[in-house]
C-alpha cells in the first residue's frame, strides 16, 4: 500500500454522505488562521472544506497543513458534517490526513483567481493544469454529453457506427489541403474527411452510417474558428428523395442535442454562467440566390455565383434572425462553380449551375456542410473532369459507382464548432483538449 488512507474507500465529493468519508483531490486553497486552518479540497465532482483545529489534530499534522502548497494532492479520512457557518453548508472534520503528491510553487499559470486571468496561449502551454479549472472541465463534460446524445440519436434511428481510415492514399476533394505522411517510404495523407468511405458504405448497402472522428486540414488559418485537427460528426444515408431529407436529419440532430443538453448539463452551464440555448424545428432553408438579395438589402454586396464570405454569412445570419426569428438557418443551392463545392455533389436537375448542397449557419458560423451526392457513374466522372481533376486519381472512388449504388446524401458537422455555439465560446481552441493550429503542435 502506498498510502495509509485506503483510497478504495474514496468517494467523490459530490457523492459524499454525512458521516465517515474518505476524500481525495487537489488542495485548492488553504486559509490559515491562528488556531484553525480551512482547506478547500477539489475533485472532478466539486469542492468541500476540511477544518483542522489546533489541538484536535496532532501538532505535526497542523504544521504540515499550514504550509501545504496549492494544488497538491491530498487524501483525508474524516467525518462529513452539516455546518451552518460554512458557506458550502457542510465540512469535513479530519481523522487522518495524508499528502499524496506535493505541488511545486509557484504555479506556471493562475486559475480560479478572479483578479488574474491567464491568457489562452499560456493556458494551453500548461493545459494539464488549466483543465483543473472547473469552468474548463465543464466545457468538456458538456462536450462528452453532446457526443453521448449524438450516439443516442443516430443509434435510435438505425444508423451503423463506422470507423474509416485516417491514413489515405489519395488526397480527397473539397480543395482543403492535406497533410502528407511518410508511409514506409510512400507518400500518403491524413484524411481530411471520411467522405469517400462513407459513400463507399452506401455502395456496400449499409444504408445509414455515422462516424464521429478526427479529420485533418492543412490550412494555415489564423482565426478563432479553425483547427488543423478537429472532430467531425459525419453521416450518410441511402434512398433519399432529395437533399431536404438530409437536412431533415441534420435539423433533428441539432435540435435534439441543443434542447436536451441544458437539462443534462444544468450544473455545468451554471458553472460557466451560460444560458443553455434553445432551438425550434423548422429552420429556414434559404437559397444562396435569396441570400444574395437578403444581404444586399442590408447594404452588403455579395459576389454573385460565389459563396457568401465570412462577413456575408454574418449579415445573412442577422437578416434571418430578424426576418424569420431563427438564429440558425440552412443556406441551400450553391453555385456549382464555386470552389468550395466538390465534384461529387448532385447538380440541380433543371438548373445545372446550382448544386443540391447546403450549409447550416448558426449565428454567423458555418457548423455543417452537406448535400445530395451524384450517384450516376457517367455524370460523376464528367463532373470530376469539369472540376479540373484527373478521374484516374479518383479511380478507387469512382469504382464504387459502377456496380450499383443507391441515391444518397449526407453531411459533416464540426463538433468543436457545435460545442462553441452551445457553450458560447469565443475561440474554438477552448473547445478542444489540445488544439492543433498552424503554430501549435505541443503539448
Partner RNA sequence: GCCCUGGUGGUGUAGCCCGGCCUAGCAUCAGCGGCUGUCGCCCGCUGGACGCGGGUUCAAAUCCCGCCCAGGGCGCCA
Piece of the chain touching RNA by CB under 7 A; list 34-42, 147-155, 253-261, 275-283: 34-42
User: Within 10 A of 110 (CB to CB), how many other CB atoms are there?
Assistant: 14
CA distance 218 to 177: 5
**Eight-class DSSP state of 345:** B
Closer residue to RNA (CB): 122 or 376: 122
227 binds RNA (CB under 7 A): yes
- How many CA atoms within 13 Å lie on the side-chain side of 327? 13
Residues numbered 291-320 forming contacts with RNA, rule: CB under 7 A:
306-307, 309-313
Closer residue to RNA (CB): 84 or 158: 84
Closest CA to 331 of 319, 346, 343: 319
User: Smallest gap, in angstroms, from Cβ of residue 63 to RNA?
Assistant: 10
Helix/strand/coil percent split, the chain, to 5:
30, 30, 40
Evaluate whether 24 touches 74 at the Cβ level (below 8 Å).
yes
419 binds RNA (CB under 7 A): no
User: Coil, strand or helix: which one is 385?
Assistant: helix
Closer residue to RNA (CB): 36 or 171: 36
User: Smallest gap, in angstroms, from Cβ of residue 72 to RNA?
Assistant: 10
61 binds RNA (CB under 7 A): no
Of 101, 105, 156, 273, which one interacts with RNA (CB under 7 A)? 105
225 binds RNA (CB under 7 A): yes
* 104 phi, psi to nearest 5 deg: -70, 155
User: Coil, strand or helix: which one is 279?
Assistant: coil
User: Smallest gap, in angstroms, from Cβ of residue 426 to RNA?
Assistant: 7
Evaluate whether 400 touches 93 at the Cβ level (below 8 Å).
no
Closest CA to 153 of 67, 226, 20, 249: 249
**Eight-class DSSP state of 122:** H
Residues numbered 361-390 forming contacts with RNA, rule: CB under 7 A:
365-369
Residues numbered 121-160 forming contacts with RNA, rule: CB under 7 A:
121-122, 124
User: Smallest gap, in angstroms, from Cβ of residue 93 to RNA?
Assistant: 8
Closest CA to 143 of 443, 425, 440, 441: 425
17 binds RNA (CB under 7 A): no
Closer residue to RNA (CB): 73 or 86: 86
270 binds RNA (CB under 7 A): no
Closer residue to RNA (CB): 186 or 442: 442
424 binds RNA (CB under 7 A): no
User: Smallest gap, in angstroms, from Cβ of residue 181 to RNA?
Assistant: 18
User: Smallest gap, in angstroms, from Cβ of residue 337 to RNA?
Assistant: 11
255 binds RNA (CB under 7 A): no
Of 19, 114, 299, 388, which one interacts with RNA (CB under 7 A)? 114
Closer residue to RNA (CB): 282 or 339: 339
Give me the DSSP letters along 159-225. PEE----SEESS--SSS----EEEETTEEEEE-S-SHHHHHHHHHTT--EEEEEEEEE------STT
Closer residue to RNA (CB): 88 or 167: 88
Q: What is the largest CA-CA distance in the chain?
A: 88
Of 222, 273, 390, 392, which one interacts with RNA (CB under 7 A)? 222
Evaluate whether 56 touches 96 at the Cβ level (below 8 Å).
no
Residue 436 backbone class (left: φ over 0; alpha: ψ -120 to 50; beta: rest): beta
Piece of the chain touching RNA by CB under 7 A; list 29-37, 146-154, 265-273, 319-327: 29-37
Per-residue interface string for the shown chain with RNA, residues 182-221, x marking contact by CB under 7 A: -----------x-----------------------x-xxx
Amino acid at each position: 500500500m502506498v498510502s495509509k488512507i485506503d483510497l478504495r474507500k474514496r468517494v467523490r465529493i459530490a457523492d459524499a454522505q454525512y458521516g465517515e468519508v474518505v476524500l481525495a483531490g487537489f488542495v485548492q486553497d488553504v486559509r490559515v488562521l491562528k488556531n484553525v486552518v480551512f482547506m478547500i479540497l477539489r475533485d472532478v465532482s466539486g469542492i468541500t472544506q476540511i477544518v483542522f483545529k489546533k489541538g484536535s489534530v496532532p501538532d505535526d499534522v497542523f504544521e504540515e497543513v499550514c504550509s501545504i502548497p496549492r494544488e497538491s494532492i491530498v487524501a483525508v479520512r474524516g467525518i462529513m458534517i452539516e455546518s451552518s457557518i460554512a458557506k458550502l453548508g457542510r465540512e469535513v472534520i479530519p481523522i487522518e490526513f495524508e499528502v499524496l503528491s506535493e505541488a511545486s510553487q509557484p504555479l506556471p499559470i493562475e486559475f480560479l483567481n478572479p483578479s488574474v486571468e491567464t491568457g489562452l496561449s499560456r493556458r494551453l502551454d500548461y493545459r494539464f493544469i488549466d483543465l483543473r479549472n472547473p469552468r474548463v472541465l465543464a466545457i468538456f463534460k458538456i462536450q462528452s454529453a453532446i457526443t453521448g446524445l449524438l450516439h443516442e440519436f443516430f443509434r435510435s434511428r438505425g444508423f451503423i457506427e463506422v470507423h474509416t481510415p485516417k491514413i489515405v492514399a489519395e488526397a480527397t476533394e473539397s480543395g482543403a489541403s492535406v497533410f502528407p505522411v511518410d508511409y514506409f517510404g510512400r507518400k500518403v495523407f491524413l484524411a481530411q474527411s471520411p467522405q469517400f468511405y462513407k459513400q463507399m458504405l452506401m455502395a456496400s448497402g449499409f444504408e445509414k452510417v455515422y462516424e464521429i472522428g478526427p479529420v485533418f486540414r492543412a490550412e494555415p488559418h489564423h482565426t478563432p474558428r479553425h483547427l488543423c485537427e478537429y472532430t467531425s460528426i459525419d453521416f450518410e444515408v441511402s434512398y433519399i428523395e432529395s437533399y431536404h431529407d438530409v437536412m431533415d436529419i441534420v435539423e433533428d440532430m441539432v435540435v435534439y442535442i441543443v434542447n436536451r443538453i441544458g437539462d443534462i448539463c444544468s450544473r455545468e452551464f451554471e458553472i460557466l454562467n451560460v444560458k443553455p440555448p434553445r432551438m425550434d424545428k423548422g429552420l429556414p432553408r434559404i437559397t444562396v440566390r435569396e441570400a444574395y438579395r437578403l444581404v444586399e438589402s442590408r447594404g452588403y454586396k455579395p459576389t454573385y455565383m460565389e459563396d457568401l464570405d465570412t462577413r456575408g454569412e454574418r449579415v445573412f445570419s442577422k437578416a434571418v434572425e430578424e426576418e424569420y426569428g431563427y438564429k440558425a438557418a440552412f443556406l441551400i443551392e450553391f453555385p456549382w462553380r464555386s470552389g468550395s463545392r466538390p465534384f461529387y455533389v448532385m447538380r440541380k436537375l433543371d438548373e445545372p449551375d446550382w448544386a443540391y448542397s447546403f450549409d447550416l449557419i448558426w449565428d454567423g458560423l458555418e457548423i455543417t456542410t452537406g448535400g445530395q451526392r451524384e450517384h450516376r457513374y457517367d455524370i460523376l466522372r464528367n463532373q470530376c473532369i469539369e472540376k479540373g481533376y484527373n478521374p484516374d486519381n479518383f479511380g478507387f472512388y469512382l469504382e464504387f459507382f459502377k456496380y450499383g449504388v443507391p441515391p444518397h446524401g449526407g453531411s459533416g458537422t464540426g463538433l468543436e464548432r457545435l460545442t462553441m455555439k452551445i457553450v458560447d465560446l469565443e475561440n474554438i481552441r477552448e473547445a478542444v483538449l489540445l488544439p492543433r493550429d498552424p503554430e501549435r503542435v505541443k503539448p
